[in-house]
Amino acid sequence: MLLYWALLSLGPLLFGMSLTVTSQLFMATNDLMRTVPLLKHAMTGLTKVTSLDGRKYDIACGQIDIGNAATEMTERMKNGVPQANGSMAVEPRMDVAHVASAVVYIASLPLDANVLFMTVMANKMPFVGRG
């Protein structure tokens, strides 16, 4: 029962905190820190553990990876950003409404179904799973 309460109470907080910290980190460093693999792998592990351990309590958990949604954070991509090969290139962005649609879809699923991992990204991004 304590695990159930903790996941319901702290899960959204941890998710929101993770998004906030990651977003602020990238905005504050102006993309000098190009990857945060430790955070990404930690969230993936937490997603898997929560999904497996939460089954007996009817807890569903999933992870959404978002690539180049058109927000204030990606505004500079319209003018070009550094690429892995050292060049500068304009990166495609997608309407943030597509991310919202994905979240609504996942939230609408009954507890006997789950989207464990989903990637929503601009179709012509130069890399998949960068960072």
Give tens-digit pLDDT for 59-92. 888 988 888 999 998 999 999 988 878 889 999 9
Instruction: Evaluate whether residue 129 is within a structural domain.
Output: no
Instruction: Evaluate whether residue 52 is within a structural domain.
Output: yes
Instruction: Evaluate whether residue 86 is within a structural domain.
Output: yes
The pLDDT score that the predictor gives to residue 108 is 92
Instruction: Evaluate whether residue 6 is within a structural domain.
Output: yes
The pLDDT score that the predictor gives to residue 130 is 55
Instruction: Evaluate whether residue 58 is within a structural domain.
Output: yes
Tell me which residue range forms the domain holding 13.
2-121
Q: What is the pTM of this model?
A: 0.65
Instruction: Evaluate whether residue 130 is within a structural domain.
Output: no
Domain count, the chain: 1
Tell which residue, 42, 49, 39, has the closest CA to residue 7.
Answer: 49
Core vs surface per residue 70-86: b (16+ CB within 10 A) or e: beeebeebeeeeeeeee
Tell which residue, 123, 129, 116, has the closest CA to residue 49.
Answer: 116
Instruction: Evaluate whether residue 56 is within a structural domain.
Output: yes
> Residue 17 — pLDDT band, cuts 50, 70, 90?
very low
Question: 120 near 66, Cβ under 8 Å?
Answer: yes
